[in-house]
Structure 1
Amino acid sequence: MIGGMDRGHRAVPHTADVRIEAWAPDREGCLAEAVAALVQTFVDTTGAHPDGETTVELPADRDEDLLVGILDEVIFRLETEGTVPLATEAQPSADGLRVRWHTVDTDAVELVGAVPKAVSLHELRFAGTDSGWRCAVTVDV
């Protein structure tokens, strides 16, 4: 159920880029779903098991900054460490968000799509409603 109490995510068609949507009952769940959506656009994690763990503090004044920050961090770690998150746990912190990832090396997963390069601010949406949180973002590939 999109926008309801269920959690989920999907990729939607977009010219030359990747557009992802995510939803969950709470902000942190929606952010975790957005990470899962991003990862699934370029790797198949079926059968992969975490071999690492990373904790990141993301400062932000606005919810949209958290969405961009968490996805940018996934792209940064992909480029610099060769890792992708298999599971995301996010909790509010005094300055923004504390994120814990259970990660796997990219050698342990299969590339199935274009590798993300950056998060676009164009048509970025992230907001809470009476029925939960939703986000939509375009990722440059």
Structure 2
Amino acid sequence: MKRAMTYQIIDHPADFGLEVTAADLASLFADTVLALFDVVAEIRESGAAKSETLVVQVSGDDWPDLMVNWLREVLYQWTGEDRFVVKVEILSLSAFVLSARLHYETFDPVRHTVLQEIKAVTYHQIRVAPSSGGWTARVVFDI
């Protein structure tokens, strides 16, 4: 079951960006990962695949730095370990430290279609800030 979230793709030369809005900070970190995976690949085969979990912890100097480090960790899980994240549980989030359980499927070319290759998460125009809808993040990725 897909979770309702709000995000938009930001057009940028040689890069692309996401702007994600969520009700609270924990949801923002979770939704940004799910928005990223919405863009990089899709599940084309119906039915449930075997899902596994992995607990990760990241830290940063501030909220934007934590977001970049968080997305870099998740991007590594995708590009380095072939883990397609389908669900995120934020276990704890305090002053610039995040612990989360990632639910993922191992990449299967029969089940998953890659839509967009991403080289890196950048600091260009990074923003994580309170907004009228709760919290908003803006992240640019190098493609």
What TM-score range do you get, normalising by the shorter chain? 0.7 to 0.9
- The answer (yes or no) to whether the contact 1:7–1:29 under 8 Å persists in 2 is no
Q: Residue 61 of structure 1 corresponds to which residue in structure 2?
A: 61
The percentage of aligned residue pairs carrying the same residue is 27
Gaps of 5+ in 1: 1-5
RMSD over aligned Cα atoms: 2.0
Q: Residue 138 of structure 1 corresponds to which residue in structure 2?
A: 140
Post-superposition shift, 1:129?
3.1
Letter in 1 for 2:30: A
Q: Residue 27 of structure 2 corresponds to which residue in structure 1?
A: 29
For residues 127 and 94 of structure 1, do their structure 2 counterparts lie closer, same or farther at Cα, with a shift above 3 Å needed? closer
Which stretches of structure 1, 4 residues or longer, exceed 3 Å deviation after superposition?
46-50
Matches within 5 A, 1:1-141: 7-45=5-43, 47=46, 49-90=49-90, 91-93=92-94, 96-107=97-108, 108-113=111-116, 115-141=117-143
For residues 9 and 45 of structure 1, do their structure 2 counterparts lie closer, same or farther at Cα, with a shift above 3 Å needed? farther
- The answer (yes or no) to whether the contact 2:21–2:133 under 8 Å persists in 1 is no
Structure 1 Cα separation of the partners of residues 40 and 12 of structure 2: 15
Give the aligned length. 135
Matched residue SS, 1:64: helix
Structure 2 Cα separation of the partners of residues 75 and 28 of structure 1: 18
Question: What TM-score, normalized by structure 2, do the two folds share?
Answer: 0.84
Matched residue SS, 1:71: helix
Post-superposition shift, 1:57?
0.9
